[in-house]
Every structure is written in structure tokens, then in C-alpha cells.
Amino acid sequence: MMGDEEIHALNDVSIKINEGEFTSIVGASGSGKSTMMNIIGLLDLPTAGIYTLDGINTTEMSDDDLSHYRNQKIGFVFQSFHLLPKSSALKNVEMPMQYASAYNKALTDEGIRQMALDTLDKVGLSSRVHHLPNELSGGQRQRVAIARALVNNPKILLADEPTGALDSKTSEEILTLFEDLNKQGVTVIIVTHDQNIAKRCKRILRMSDGLIQEDKI
Amino acid sequence: MILKKIIINSFEALVENKLRSMLTMLGMIIGVSAVILLVSVGTGAKRYITNEFESLGTNMILLQPGRTDKDSRMGPPVSSSKGKFLLSDVEALKRYATSLSAVSGVMFGAGTVKNELGTNNINILGSNEEFVKIFNMIIIQGTYITKEDDDSGKRVVVLGYNVKKNLFADGTALGKLVKINDSEHRVIGIIKPTGDKMGFNVDDMVFIPTKSALRLFNTDRLFGIRAAAKSRNGLDDAVKDITAILKERHNGEEDFTIITQVTMLESMNTILNMLTYALGAIALISMLVGGIGIMNIMLVSVTERTKEIGIRRAVGARRSDILKQFIIEAVVISVSGGLIGILISEIIAYTLHYFFPGFDMRPPFWIIPPAFFLSFFTGLGFGVWPARKAAHIQTIDALRYE
């Protein structure tokens, strides 16, 4: 259970995101939404205050523990996909599990492969697992990235402008996928400046100047 | 990530960047090949020279008139005005030095030998009947100089194989007359083709009795004395015997130098070992250059793959995982290069051996493990810095890197 997730961030702001929520963080560039995302994603530490994820205060964690937490609790989806260009879709999806295998000896090569294939199937890419990223369309690449984010069963799916590089039709497909995943219980946080995407979310955190200006459910 | 997986990934990364990997490896290939080949040249030279010495018989003792201080670096002993060897010295050694199996005075000089078919410039060596035993020479036709020939200073000659070929072609030489420095000598023997021995080509020499040689060069001084100890273990006794006998004959003065094959081999080995180490050290420089090449490429690779590092960190790679990944890539490159280098140097050495069997420079087997570990540790050593750089890139910055 994610239970009480409190985020004290930026200009003395305090928010709490519960498990299973479908939240968007919106704001213009410079509003602090990227910093917010980096802190939520454990890529950056707040200079003051605390961030509690899944009941654990993360601000005093070691770098290794933060890596482990990112690996286990957070799945990232980026605007420009951030896939390894020379690795196939399957290898990209396997990567987080390979890092997880350092902690979990039960993860065998075969197990990792099977889980990666299952996850790719879940995002509708079972027919293109051996393709390199540059052999896939933008939408397909983002699906690979989503599969990679999901493969370790994270608590949070953290998406930074996930449709920014996609056309409207593909964007719609990706958003539908997020909605489906949310229905299956995944907590989704989308960081965007696009109001239309924000409207699809159940909760909107509107930011500017490092403050939460509006918290609309 | 487990080590095995990182190693597999590193090999995949190598294959993905074939050209760059090959170019990077080239430094290591050349470095390792250079180490192996140069050490092989050193050990080959040592083996060659040792064999040459051994083929002369290790019981051999060289006596030169004049004293050469062993500690000084004045060069090899040569005749000096100080001491001299006469035939009577040889006689005395023959009679009293019981530890010797053979003794011969030698007279040495350049000259010409001719018959109606042609003229040859040759080296002339005067010796007695025992010389053939000291130098392990084999007579294929006729006989060597006999005691009788030497005692009476007969004008007889034993020809080296090339001299015989040049003067008589395939015809009979035994019993024929040849002119050595215008003095007629009868051919009594032919020596088996032998090649170089002690720096002289036996095949291009002629051998005449000591007395004949002294007469030919108009002197009573011998060039030196050659002797053989009865056994290798008896060498020290033989040296003592000779010293005592000759000192007594030379008014108590040790005005001569004794060189045994053992001392020669020892000093030769010292020099040749030094040569091998020096060659190896020179080759190490190319390893160093190869290592720096790897470091350069790894640094470029770290910068080029900043985004990859960011992605890996974001999905859960620890600093140590990134560190391991880049060190292992460097080691995989250097070890692959090292293995290729070992293979290439073996191929080169064995090919050379095939075409020039005379000089055996096949690499000694003991060189392979050090060469391998050298490439391993070069990769490790030069991979650490780029890998540390990679591991300390900030994840957020890396993700933004274009």
C-alpha cells in the first residue's frame, strides 16, 4: 500500500498523492514542474523538506538505495522516449529487470525475457520485439518506453510530456493506454504543459513559480 | 546487474561499434604482439647462441697470451707483447696436464689458396692432430693432420668444404697440390660442411700443421692454445693444472688468459638476458600507448553515451553498475586485443620459423600468460578513470544531454 504519500516540495508546498490516482502536473516552463517530477522520480533530492514514498522517507537515502527505489517503485516515460538506440525493444524492456536481478536472485535470464515479452504484449507490441528503436514509429517507441517503465511493477508511472513528440492520433492511443493502466491500479503522474492532456486526468495540480496554484479533482 | 550479463553486454557493445572497437584494439594488438615478438627475438637469439656454443663442446678451454683483467672492460684478450705461447708450452701441457683430453697450439692468419682452377681468399689455421677433437670437427674424406705431419711440419692441408668446392668442384681433391701463400701443400682431408663456429666459417678455412703455419707466417709465437678438459666437471681442475704448468714455465708470471666455455656462456647469458629484458621494456612502451588509446576512446565513449548513462541510472543502475560496465568494456577491448595480439604474434613467429628454420624465434610458452595479464591489467588500469567519470555523471544532467 502506498498509503500516505506526502510531498513537501519547492516553495514550501505540501501535496499528497494516493495510490491509484491519475494525476497531472501542469504548468508553463519554469513553473517548477520539472523539479517536482525529478523529486518525485528520485532523480533529485529536495534541499529542504522531506519526500515520503511508499511510507519511507527518501531524503536520507544513499545513492545506491535511491537507485534501487527508482528501479523498484518508479517507471519513467520521457517525451523523447530515451530508449537505447542500439538495443532491440526487448532488450530495452529487459534492462530494468537486469538491474533488479542484483537484488532479486530469483530473476533468471529466462524469467526476465518472459516478463519483458509479456509486458510488450500488454502494450500491444508483441509483434515487434526484436526491432531496434529506429525501426519503430514514434507511438511504438513510446509503447516500448512504457513497457520498460512497467516491467518491474512500479508503484508510480511517471510520464514527462509523454505525447510531446507524437501526433494527435498516436497521442490519443498513448493516453488511452495510460487510462487502461490506471484502471488496472497503476498510479499515473503525467507532467505536461498541455491542458488537453491534463483534462483527461482525474486530478490536476497546476503549478507556477514553484507553487501549487490549484489542486483540482 | 550480474557480472556475466555486463560482460555479455560489453561484447555486444563491441560488435555494435565494430570499426571503433577494432581501431581501439589495434593499439593493444600491436602492443602485445610487440612484447611477444621482441621477447621471442631475445630468447631466440639466446637459444641460437647457446646452441652454437654447446655444439663446440662445453669442455673447451681457450688460452690467449697476455693478461686481460676480468673486471676491466678492455675487450677480448688478444696477443700482446707481454706474454707469448711457444710450441714448447703446448708440449708441456700435453705431457703434464692430466686433466686435459686434448691440447693444440693454434696459429691463425689470412691468406690465399690457389690451384690451376682458381684462387680463394681464406683464413688459415695451424693446429696439431688434437684440434679436431677440441672443436668436434668431422672429416668426410681423408684424415685430419696427424701427429707425424705436425711433428715434422709437413706441407699438408685439410680443406674446408667451400674451399674444396671452389678449387676442385666435384673432382677429387685428396692427394692434389694447392698453393697456400705460394707454398705448395698436399690435400689430405676434407671437412664436413659445418658453417659458423666461434665466429669463423669453418667451410671457408684451411687447416695445416702448426709448425707449417709458423713457418708460413715466419714466427715462433702461437696465436693461442686450445684445449679440452676430460669432462665438463673437470673444467676447474683443468684450469688449475694449466695455470700451474704455464706459470712455472713463464717465470711465475700469469701472463696469459684462460677462458672456458662455462665462463663464456655465463657472460653471454647475462648479456642476452639483458637484451631480452630491454626488448621487453621497449615493447612495454607500445602497451602503454595502446592503453592510452583505450582510455581516449573510453572517454569519448562516456561522453557520447551520456544519455545512455542517464537512462540506465533512471531505471535503477547504481553508480557501481555504471562503473563496472565501463571498466569491463575497457577490459573486454584490451583483452580481446591482447588475445588477437597473442594469436598474431604466434602466427608471425611460426611463419618466420617455417621460412627461416635456422633462427628459431618461436615464442616461449611462458610468455602467453604474462602477455594476457598485461593486456588485462592495461584495460583495467586505463579503464578506471573513464569509468569513474561515467559513474559520477549526474542523472538529471545526463538525461537532458543531447
Percent of chain B predicted with pLDDT > 90: 31
**ipTM confidence:** 0.90
Residue B394 has pLDDT above 60, yes or no: yes
Angle, CA A158 vertex, CA A183 and CA A70 arms, to 5°: 115
- For residue A157, the tally of other CB atoms under 10 A from its CB is 22
Residue B384 has pLDDT above 90, yes or no: yes
Confidence (pLDDT) at A134: 92
Confidence (pLDDT) at B1: 60
More reliable by pLDDT, A102 or A8: A102
- Sorting pLDDT into bands at 50, 70 and 90, what band is B294? very high
**Mean pLDDT, all residues of chain A:** 86
Lowest mean pLDDT among A15-24, A26-35, B99-108, B321-330: A26-35
- Sorting pLDDT into bands at 50, 70 and 90, what band is A2? very low
Closest CA to B195 of B384, B358, B370, B366: B358
Lowest mean pLDDT among B53-62, B169-178, B293-302: B53-62
- Tell me whether strands A74-77 and A156-160 are parallel, antiparallel or unpaired: parallel
- Sorting pLDDT into bands at 50, 70 and 90, what band is A9? very low
B193, with CB counted inside 10 A (0-12, 13-18, 19+), is middle
Say whether A84 and B395 touch across the interface (CB within 8 A).
no
Say whether B1 and A98 touch across the interface (CB within 8 A).
yes
Say whether B317 and A67 touch across the interface (CB within 8 A).
yes
How far is Cα B332 from Cα B298, in angstroms, rounded to an integer?
Answer: 12
Q: Given its phi and psi angles, is residue B100 left (phi above 0), alpha (psi -120 to 50 degrees) or beta?
A: beta
Give per-residue pLDDT as tens, B78-94: 444 457 888 889 889 98
**Ranges A86-95, B74-83, B393-402, most confident:** A86-95
Confidence (pLDDT) at B327: 94
More reliable by pLDDT, B46 or B26: B26
The alpha carbon of residue A70 is apart from the nearest alpha carbon of chain B, in Å, by: 5
Give per-residue pLDDT as tens, A120-147: 998 888 898 999 999 998 889 998 999 9
Calculate the dihedral angle through the C-alpha atoms of A32, A35, A37, A42, rounding to the nearest 10 degrees. -160
Report phi then psi at A173, rounded to 5. Answer: -60, -45
Give per-residue pLDDT as tens, B110-140: 888 888 888 888 899 999 999 888 888 889 9
The cell for A8 is 513537501
Give per-residue pLDDT as tens, B248-263: 888 888 888 888 877 7
Residue B76 has pLDDT above 60, yes or no: no
How far is Cα B193 from Cα B185, in angstroms, rounded to an integer?
Answer: 21
Confidence (pLDDT) at A7: 45
DSSP track, A66-109: HHHHHHHHEEEE-TT----TTS-HHHHHHHHHHHHTTT-TT--H
Confidence (pLDDT) at A125: 87
Q: Crossing angle, helix B306-314 and helix B319-355, to 10 degrees?
A: 130
Residue B56 has pLDDT above 70, yes or no: no
- The CA distances from residue A213 to A11, A37, A200, A205, B8, in Å, are 11, 16, 19, 8, 50
Q: Is A73 on the interface with B (CB under 8 A)?
A: no
How far is Cα B218 from Cα B320, in angstroms, rounded to an integer?
Answer: 86
Residue B315 has pLDDT above 60, yes or no: yes
Closest CA to B197 of B138, B272, B115, B251: B138
Closest CA to A91 of A136, A130, A134, A143: A130
- Sorting pLDDT into bands at 50, 70 and 90, what band is A82? very high
How far is Cα A72 from Cα A100, in angstroms, rounded to an integer?
Answer: 7
Which domains does chain A carry?
6-216 (3.40.50.300)
Question: Reduced to 3 states, what is the DSSP secondary structure of residue B145?
Answer: coil
Say whether B5 and A98 touch across the interface (CB within 8 A).
yes
- Cβ-Cβ contacts under 8 Å, A133 against chain B: none
Residue B144 has pLDDT above 80, yes or no: yes
Give per-residue pLDDT as tens, B182-232: 889 999 999 998 877 766 788 889 999 999 999 888 888 899 999 988 887
* B181 contacts B111 by C-beta, under 8 angstroms: yes
Q: Is A101 on the interface with B (CB under 8 A)?
A: yes
Residue listed under C-alpha cell 621471442: B40
**Mean pLDDT, all residues of chain B:** 86
Confidence (pLDDT) at B57: 65
The alpha carbon of residue A96 is apart from the nearest alpha carbon of chain B, in Å, by: 5
Question: Reduced to 3 states, what is the DSSP secondary structure of residue B209?
Answer: strand
Say whether B5 and A101 touch across the interface (CB within 8 A).
yes
Confidence (pLDDT) at B311: 93
Q: Is A33 on the interface with B (CB under 8 A)?
A: no
How far is Cα B64 from Cα B76, in angstroms, rounded to an integer?
Answer: 10
- For residue B231, the tally of other CB atoms under 10 A from its CB is 13
Average pLDDT estimate for B272-298: 89
- Cβ-Cβ contacts under 8 Å, A145 against chain B: none
DSSP state of B392: T
- Sorting pLDDT into bands at 50, 70 and 90, what band is B71? very low
- Cβ-Cβ contacts under 8 Å, A76 against chain B: 314-315
Say whether B315 and A148 touch across the interface (CB within 8 A).
yes
- Strand ranges, E, within B99-223: 100-115, 118-127, 139-142, 156-159, 177-180, 183-191, 196-197, 200-201, 205-209
Report phi then psi at A138, rounded to 5. Answer: -55, -45
The residue of B20, B308, B315 whose CB has the most chain A CBs within 10 angstroms, and thus the best one to mutate to test that interface, is B315
The set of residues, in sequence order, having a beta carbon less than 8 Å from that of A42 and lying 6+ positions away, is A53, A58, A66, A69, A70, A74
